[in-house]
Structures are given as C-alpha cells and as structure tokens.
A and B are shown apart, each in its own frame.
Chain A
C-alpha cells in the first residue's frame, strides 16, 4: 500500500515537473496559459499523495495530527487548482459558444442547494475530516476533472475536424483519463451518513391517506451505496487506492504526451505561418508587377489617345478608338458614352461598345434614362457597383443587347467643371470593378472631354480659315484683277479717243500696254488657282504637294526650279505646321515671280537635329535682284510669312543684300514622343 501511495504521488509529481519544464520553454502555444495550474496541480497533488503514504505507514506517529491537517489542506488546495485548470482547459483552448454564458445562471440554484446541503453535513457526528474530504471531492475534484476531461474531448473533436488523427487520439486519451479520474477521485468518497456515496435514508413509514394503511420501509432511499470505498472493493476486488494510482498514471501519461503534441502543433502552426507569409509576399510581388503592367498599359493608351487628338483626327474616330481601348483594358461587356443635349435636359447615347465592336449612334436619338446615370449627372461623382444592387437600378444601362449588367462603373464627363455627359462600363458577370478602375475610367473620360473640346476648336478654326481665305481672295481680286479691269476700261476709252483722232501709232502703244496688263492679270489668276488647288491631302503629304506646286510654278512663270527633300523617316510636324509650311512656300514663290525677276529658284526641305530637338528647315533661294530689307514693298507678305512660322513655334529668316538674290529660311520644331502630350495641350 505504501508503494501504491508512493507511485500515486510520483505520478502527480512527474506530471507537475513535465508541465513546469514545458512552461520554461519559449514560444506560445494553446496550453501554455494553463501550464502553471497544471504544474501546481501535479506538485500539490503529489505532495498530498505522499502525505497519505506517511500517514498510512505510521512512521511519523509523532506529527500525525500535523500530517492530518496538512493532508486536508493539500487535498483542498489540489481540488481548487484542479477546478481552475479544468475551467481553463474547457474555456481557453477553444472559446465556448455564446450560449454557454447562461450555464452559470442555470446552475446557480443547484450549486446553492449543494453548498447548503454540504454545509448541513458538517453538523453530523462524523469526524470533521470526513465531510471535508467528501465535499472536497464532490465540489472540487469532480467538477475540476470533469471540466478538464470535457476540455480535452473538445480538443479531440476539433483536431479530428482538422484531420489531425494522431493528435486527436491523444486528446481523446487525455479526456477519458480525466473523466476516469473524475469518477475515482471525485465521486468515490468515504462512507458517511449523507449522500450520494452512502446515502442511507431514515427508516420511514409511508401512510396512505386513502386506504389508511401504513407501510414500514427500511430499504435505502436514493442512490445505492456502491460509491464508497468498501463497496468499490467488494464490487471490483481492487481497493480504491489502486484505482486512484492507475488514474494518476494514466492522466500523467496522456497529459505529458499531450504537452508534446501541443508543442508539435505550435511548430506546425509556425511553419504554416511562414508558408503563409512567403505566399503573401509572393502574391504581393506578383500584384505589384501586375499593377505596374496595368499602369504601363493605361499610360500607353493615354499617350496614344493624346497623339490621335494632336493629329487632328476626326473626333468620332477618336471616340471609337477610346472606347475600344477601354473595352480591351477593363475587359468590359458594354461601354456607353452619352452627351447632354444643348438644352441639357436629355442625355443622348453618342457611342457604345458591345460584343467587341464599337459603334456611333448617328441615325437615331437614343435617350439614356437610368437612375445610376441620372444620379451621376446630378452629383458629378463616380459610381461603382458593389454587387447585389436591385435589378431595376441597372436596367436600361446596356443598349442593343438582352444581357443584364451585374457590375457597373460610371464617371461623369466634365468640360471646364461642367458635366456634359457620362461614360459607363458594365460586365454581365459578377466580377465587380476595382477602385483603381474608377481612376482609370476617369482618365479616359478626361481624354474624351479633351477630344470633344478639341473637335469644337478645330471646327471653329476651320470656319475662321475659310473666312480668312475668302478675304484674301477678295483682296487679291481687288488688287489684281479688279485693278486691271478698271485699267482696261479706261484704256478702251483712251483707244476710242485715239481712234477718232487718227493717232495710229499712239493707239498701238496703248494696245501693247493693255496686252501686258492682261498677261500679268492672267498670271496672277493662274497662280491663285494653283495655290487654292494645292492642299495637303492625307494621301499626298508635304513632299508631293511641294514638288507638284514647284513644277507647276516653273511651267507658269518660266522660272527654273529645283526641289530637294532631305527628310529621312517621318516629318514629325503637326498638321497645322505642315499647312503653314506650304503657305510660306507659296508666298515666297509669289514674291519671286512678282518682284525678284529671277531665272532660277531652288527649294530645299531637310530635317536637322539641334540642341533643342529636331527641326524642319526649308530654304527658298532665288538668283533675282534681291531687295533692301527696310521699306520694301514686300514687307506685308514677309510679315505674313513670319507670323505663320511663329504661330507653330518656328521662325523665319530672310537674307538679301539687294544684288545677289534672296534666301528665305523657315525653321519649324518637330514633335517628339515626349513632347507630344504637352504639345497637344498647347494646341487645345
């Protein structure tokens, strides 16, 4: 028996030591918070077992009373620590469900009755140690072991769900071990005249009020007496001390194994966290690359759109190009672009993209009447669906299709802080648009607004050019043809007078002058016709247009011409600059014909690389009389040429000494890739 008590105590001390050593390890794992209580339970429980051993052996007879008090105290303490450990295992490893907060409320009345009942047993004649031990076991060991057992069984259940069957088996063992301990340590108590261990009710007489009979009963009332030490021995043939030793060893075995398992779980969790961190880093890196790629795609798209605008392309073509770009970059199923009418009361669909093709709405008026778009126009803030919007809200947002939008994003079109329309995109799938998509779509809306504004300005410029050209023609006719016709009118009158007077010689002189005047007028008219006919049609280009004009000029005037075009690759001039260059050439050749009396004119166009970038240089050199730079009759034409050059950022230089002909040199800057957007802003 002494050996039994020793092993019992040793098992608990071993448990306490294992828990203590585990507690000193670094790291955090689920059981760690409960380890101090487990260690304390092991140490104090082991000490209580060894005190039992000394009491049983009688070797310390002299201090038997002290040992008895110590035993009671240690058992009480062990029970309290076990209760705390059990509660921690049950509640802290895996949080209990919310409804469990009501358990103490439900149990409060039974607990109060049990405490009261326990208190009443202290006034029985049995020695005080007996009720103390009994109620220590009932109120502390029993619930403590039970809670710990249930706590480990919950772990068994959760580990099984995770598929960790090796761990769950150990948890099951620990749980069952604590439940076994609950029975042998908490439920089996010394015999006493109160229950439930040895509940002997009074002998009673039951009186039947209806029949008047009285029955005397002497059998036990309530639970049977198999829960005391003697009954256990009689029933199993094994004393309770052996059962308790077995229980202590089993608990120690499974809990110590479980401690290792918790450490293994912690290590596994650390490994999983590392994997997770690596994965997250990898994903973040990939996301970064993707974001950069996306940004590059959008930037390229914006550059290309700006180039199209700068090249004075048709606004409708630009809009189609922008919608195609959006459809490609945002992977949309439908794109709509609508503009407010002049009264700003109705939103008309201008352009749309659906099923991979983009179309302009030209034949009919399609009114956009959708709450999302209407709201967008009123508050001028972008809209992005989050999924789950009511069907009626996205109705009427996709035109010319039966599909329904499930993801929508819309931004206002703003021109000088005034909303002029809306641009929206949608998908037929649940894949919603991102916040960054809104930013990109707003950029596209800005480009659309710029294109529209640019189109309006170009239209105004064209109108202005027509007016200017009509004025120029009128001026030419007034200065040239009209003057000649007036002169001829006077000359015919003079001819009549000379004819009447019979002055034939004088008449012939006048006729010769009239002929010369008519020839001059004819040359002017032909040159004007040539100028009006020479245009920069897209298929021609500057080289062809200049060459044809120069050849025609030579034929008409009899002046020798040569043309040299030394531009490798693209001209890289804006359309306006090309027009101005041709106009300057025409003006220069007109001056040659009218004033230089030259026999030869040479035209050279070349590209040069200077410090401030590429330039197109045009030289018109004649071998005529030249002129003095001040007070010349040519000043008005020269001034016009200079203004034309400066209007497109270029300059005009004229070299003439009045003897050796004239050299007119025009230098216009080229548009580089980097300068293109900036330049486009200047143009607009």
Chain B
C-alpha cells in the first residue's frame, strides 16, 4: 500500500476508535452514576473526551490524504441520497460536531448536565450510524472478499475493542498525571479505575473472542466461495500469513495480558498503578492487531471485472 492507501486505515481505525471510546466512556459515566457524584465523574471524563475529539479531528484530517483534491472533499456530501460514502462523510461531521459540543459543555458549562448527557448519546448514535455507513461502502458485489455482513459486525467489534482499551489507557494516564501533580482527585480516579477495569477487561476478552469468530466465518465464506474468493484466501494463508498470525497473536497477548494484570491487582489488593505498563502494552498490541487486520482487509481484496 502507498501513502494514499494508508490514509484509509488511518481514517477508519481512528474514527472507529473515537466512536468506541465515546460509547465506553459514556457507559462508564452512566454506570458510575450511583457510586460517584455527577461533578466527580464529569471531572474524570473531561480529559478522555478531549482526546476523543482530537482523535476524530486527526482521522478527518488523515482521510484527506486519500483524496486527489482534498479541498474538494466537501462536494462528496452532495450524493447523500444514493452514496454510502456521502452518508459516511455527513455522519462523520455530525459525530465530530456533537463531540465538540460535549467537550465545550463539559469544560465551560458543567452545570448543564442533562444537555451533556443527551448530546453524548446523540454523538454515539451518529457514531453508530457512521460505522454502519463506513462498513456498507465495502459491501459491493465486485469485491468478493468484502461483500459480507461480517464486515459490518467486525467494524463494530473493532470499534468497541479499540475504544475500551483507549479509555482504559486514558484513565491510567490521567491517574499518573494526578499523582505527579499531587492532585486531590487521585483517590477518586483510583476508585473509578478499580470499579471499571473488571468490566473493561471482560469486555475486551469477549470482543477478542468475537473477533476470532468473525475471522473464522470470513475464512469459511472465502473457502466456500468462487475462484476470486479462494484467491483472496490464498493471499491470507500464503503471502500475508505472517501478518495474519501476528494479528492473532497480538490480540491474544493484549487480552490475556490485561486480564492477568487486572486479576493480579484484585487478588493482591494492589493499587491500579501496577497496571500502567500492562494496560499500555495491551492497548498498543490491540491497535497493532487491528491495524494489521485492516491492512489485510484492504490487501486481500481482488476486484471482479473493471
């Protein structure tokens, strides 16, 4: 792949990461309601929501490297009625705008809690539609390797997997920062991490298993398909086999390492600070695994016809 083609994984991976992270963050915010005060939990999520907005902005900027005429990108929305690409762009913009609104409200209008909550769920709705549009672009008959509903599911799984790990890492980095600054909210952040990490690690395991199931389904579909499909499969098991295996190993390592570290923390009643390196490495490996997966996704397709 050349630079223009790498822009696609950059955009899709980062945007799915942003949507997934937003969803996981809002889920934590919702579930933490009975245990923490609104002010406390909004203070905890203020930095992660900023990072999500930044990630979405980078993804949107990165997508322009895929275009021959980046300054004409806005014209893509003209075909909203007929084109999934146009819809993807529109919902990307909507997701970004609502996310930025939430960022503004959380930083400058903290008392408008209901509006923040509502806008957050609206952003997530836009994100879900965005990922659906993103996946539907690839569901075309001429691309045998892509033309499967498993692509839609795999995009959602990737989104949640990346989002969960990103939020886990961000909470940990925020805690570390607070410790260095001797901030008064260290104890609060520690409690939030202790409450949320069991769920995050369990979610990660489920999603990795789901990811493997999707891979299995895709391979079976390709194996049972026509010549084009079998050719695509042969690319995976021949030329790209090291990358394919590297992806699986990355996901297994990331999931196992995180679960092991979290279990050890609960068993030894140690502080969450011990999770810093395992969480960071797990997040990195999940990212590597999913980027390789996206690379394979683009690299194994063989076009039928023109």
Contacts and interface: CB of A to CB of B under 8 A. Distances in A.
A113 B240 contact: no
A119 B177 contact: no
A63 interface: no
B176 A101 contact: yes
Given A111-B284, A201-B3, A105 B291 contact: no
Interface in A535-584: none
B237 to A, nearest CB: 13
B181 A105 contact: no
Interface string A74-102: 00000000000000000000000011011
A417 interface: no
Contacts of B284: 108, 111-112, 115
Contact of A113 (B68, B181, B283, B291): B291
Contacts of A208: 68
B68 A206 contact: yes
A105 B51 contact: yes
A120 B292 CA distance: 8
Contacts of B292: 116, 119-120
Contacts of A56: none
B291 A112 contact: yes
A660 B103 CA distance: 120
Contacts of A116: 288, 291-292, 295
Given A111-B284, A112-B287, A113-B10, A119 B180 contact: no
A21 interface: no
B201 interface: no
B293 to A, nearest CB: 10
A221 interface: yes
Contact of B243 (A108, A123, A204, A207): A123
A306 to B, nearest CB: 52
Given A108-B287, A116-B291, A116-B295, A101 B10 contact: no
Given A111-B284, A116-B292, A119-B292, A221 B177 contact: no
Interface in A92-149: 98-99, 101-102, 104-105, 108-109, 111-113, 115-117, 119-120, 122-123
B176 A122 contact: no
B280 A104 contact: yes
Contacts of A206: 68
B239 interface: yes
A221 B3 contact: yes
Given A105-B169, A108-B280, A115 B288 contact: yes
Given A98-B180, A98-B181, A101-B180, A117 B3 contact: no
B243 A120 contact: yes
B14 interface: yes
B295 A120 contact: yes
A197 to B, nearest CB: 15
B132 interface: no
A220 to B, nearest CB: 11
Contacts of B9: 113
Contact of B3 (A99, A115, A207, A222): A222
Contacts of B291: 112-113, 116
A7 to B, nearest CB: 38
B305 interface: no
Contacts of A222: 3
Contacts of B243: 119-120, 123
A87 B6 CA distance: 30
Nearest to A113: B291
A201 B180 CA distance: 46
A207 B3 CA distance: 17
Interface size class of A (residues with CB under 8 A): 20 to 34
Contacts of B6: 113, 117
A165 interface: no
Contacts of A381: none
B228 interface: no
A487 interface: no
Contacts of B10: 113
A115 B295 CA distance: 12
A360 B17 CA distance: 82
Nearest to A105: B173
B288 A112 contact: yes
A202 interface: yes
B242 interface: yes
A123 B3 contact: no
A208 B69 CA distance: 9
A675 to B, nearest CB: 59
B246 interface: yes
Contacts of A123: 239-240, 242-243
A99 B169 contact: no
B2 interface: yes
Contacts of A98: 177, 180-181
B34 to A, nearest CB: 29
Interface string B173-188: 1001100110000000
A225 to B, nearest CB: 15
Contact of A108 (B2, B68, B181, B283): B283
A101 B180 CA distance: 9
B151 interface: no
Contacts of B58: 109
A150 B240 CA distance: 38
B53 interface: no
Contacts of A102: 173, 177
A109 to B, nearest CB: 7
A260 B88 CA distance: 62
A204 B3 CA distance: 12
Contacts of A99: 177
A99 B174 CA distance: 10
Given A108-B284, A109-B14, A119 B246 contact: yes
Contacts of B123: none
Interface in A386-404: none
A109 B69 CA distance: 26
Contacts of B55: 109
B102 interface: no
B180 to A, nearest CB: 4
Contacts of A119: 242-243, 246, 288, 292
Contacts of A204: 2
A101 B68 contact: no
B3 A122 contact: no
Q: Which of B2, B17, B169, B280 lies at the interface centre, i.e. has the most chain A CB atoms within 10 A of its CB?
A: B2
B180 A122 contact: no
Contacts of A113: 6, 9-10, 291
Interface in B147-185: 169-170, 173, 176-177, 180-181
Interface in B235-252: 239-240, 242-243, 246
The CB with the most chain B CB atoms within 10 A, among A120, A123, A206, is that of A120
A328 B58 CA distance: 73
Interface string A178-202: 0000000000000000000000011
Contacts of B3: 201, 221-222
A105 B166 CA distance: 9
Contacts of B239: 123
A585 B162 CA distance: 112
Contacts of A207: 68
Given A105-B51, A105-B173, A116-B291, 15 more contacts: A98-B180, A101-B177, A102-B177, A108-B280, A108-B283, A109-B17, A112-B284, A112-B291, A115-B288, A117-B6, A123-B240, A123-B243, A202-B2, A204-B2, A209-B69
- Interface pairs A-B: 7 shortest CB-CB: A112-B287, A98-B180, A116-B291, A101-B176, A105-B173, A112-B288, A101-B177
Interface of B: 1-3, 6, 9-10, 14, 17, 51, 55, 58, 68-69, 169-170, 173, 176-177, 180-181, 239-240, 242-243, 246, 280, 283-284, 287-288, 291-292, 295
Interface of A: 98-99, 101-102, 104-105, 108-109, 111-113, 115-117, 119-120, 122-123, 201-202, 204, 206-209, 221-222
5 contacts: A98-B181, A101-B173, A115-B284, A116-B295, A117-B6
